Amino acid sequence: MKDLVQNFTTQLKEAGQIAEKAIISGDKNIQNIVITGLGGSGIGGTIITEIISDTCKVPIIINKDYFLPGFVNENTLVIISSYSGNTEETLSAMEQAISKKAQIACVTSGGKVLEMAKQNQFDFIEIPGGKPPRSCIGYSLIQIIKVLASKGFAPQSIFSDLQKTITLLDKENSNIKAEAEKIAKKLHNKIPVIYSLGTCEGAAVRFRQQINENSKMLCWHHVFPEMNHNELVGWTTKNENIAVVTFHTTFDYDRTEKRYEVCRPLFEKYSSGVIDITAKGDSKLEQFFYLINMGDWISCYLADIKGIDPVEVKVIDHLKGELAKF
């Protein structure tokens, strides 16, 4: 897993090359978009939705279930994101998209999704397979961007941002790893509570997922300002087993930043400590990938400290095996 994280910018370069060669049809009166996928395949949709939230002219929702929303019809673009191509929930959603005559584009490494895309002559982009899905967010996210940009829902300039992202992460590699190792030591034997300040919830979700899968730990996340209206009231008892991690970008709204400034002393009082991580870079894409890369390294260093294999996901394999019996 550490090798895969170390080679993240190589993956981003390859993803850019794949996107450049991909042929995707243009907009055909698309009035809304659904990106459907789960886990490491689904998080890309969550992140890109935040990145283009201020420019996309149609509503986008992220679907992480067997079923599609009732509004899906022939004017809906449904992006199918499944790394393996065999995710049962995503295949169910894809079958519904076909029955609803939605416009479909697929991002996958193979499996039934690729087979169905070819049979039905859907737009598709094939990405390299054979790796843990969570380690291939660069491949899947960039191809989702390609689909959206080809249809006019994401700016083409985002691919220039991709090149800047690669340069940034290569330049900061040693610093990111050093900071991540220090943070991992602080989070060892703690329950991480992850907060984002509104603009980068997708990166916080990704970090939670990586802590779960790579570090084999439970944690939770929430987002400002929503957490101020419910979860904040739960901060009433000192718990040394909890450590707070916050994600910040330069795109955070100033009123949200003020909310955090007011809440931070409370977190310090009732937890073992607060760790603030501020993204580097100019664009949203740069800053999101900076936070993603930082979180990935933290999860790997936690696995090292615990002496466990970050790749192993036996409990998920057991679940799939049991479900296969029905």
Length of the chain: 326
What is the model's pLDDT at position 319?
81
Tell me, what's the pLDDT at 27? 80
For residue 206, pLDDT over 90 is answered with yes
Q: Is residue 80 within 8 Å of 33, Cβ to Cβ?
A: no
Q: Domain 2-156, CATH 3.40.50.620 — does that match?
A: no
CB atoms closer than 10 angstroms to residue 262: 11
- CA-based nearest residue to 134, from 51, 78, 62, 214: 214
pLDDT digits 0-9 by tens, 159-186:
999 999 999 999 999 999 999 999 999 9
Specify the fold of 159-306: Rossmann fold (3.40.50)
Question: Is 229 part of the annotated catalytic residue set?
Answer: yes
pLDDT at 315 over 90: no
Averaged pLDDT for residues 192-215: 95
Is 216 considered catalytic here?
no
Q: What percent of the chain has pLDDT over 70?
A: 100
Choice among 5-9, 24-28, 189-193, 292-296 with the minimum mean pLDDT: 24-28
Instruction: Kindly tell me if the per-residue pLDDT of 3 is higher than 90.
Output: no
What letter does residue 294 receive in the DSSP assignment?
H
Catalytic: which of 229, 269, 314, 325? Answer: 229
Q: What percent of the chain has pLDDT over 90?
A: 87
Phi first, then psi: give them for residue 262, nearest 5 degrees. Answer: -70, -40
Is 318 a known active-site residue?
A: no
Q: How many CB atoms lie within 10 A of CB 308?
A: 14
How far apart CA 212 and CA 50 sit, in angstroms, is 23
Average pLDDT, integer, range 236-246: 97
Yes or no: say if 146 and 19 are a contact pair by the CB < 8 Å rule: yes
Q: Is the pLDDT of residue 133 over 90?
A: no
The tens digit of pLDDT for each residue in 47-97 reads: 999 999 889 999 999 999 999 999 999 999 999 999 999 999 999 999 999
Q: Please give the pLDDT value at position 76.
A: 97
Domain residue spans of the chain: 2-156, 159-306
Query: What tokens were used for 117?
Result: 């895309």
* Same fold flag, 2-156 and 159-306: yes
In this prediction, residue 1 carries a pLDDT of: 86
Among the listed residues 50, 89, 201, 213, the single catalytic one is 213
**Active-site residue (options: 182, 238, 318, 320):** 320
Say what the pTM is.
0.94
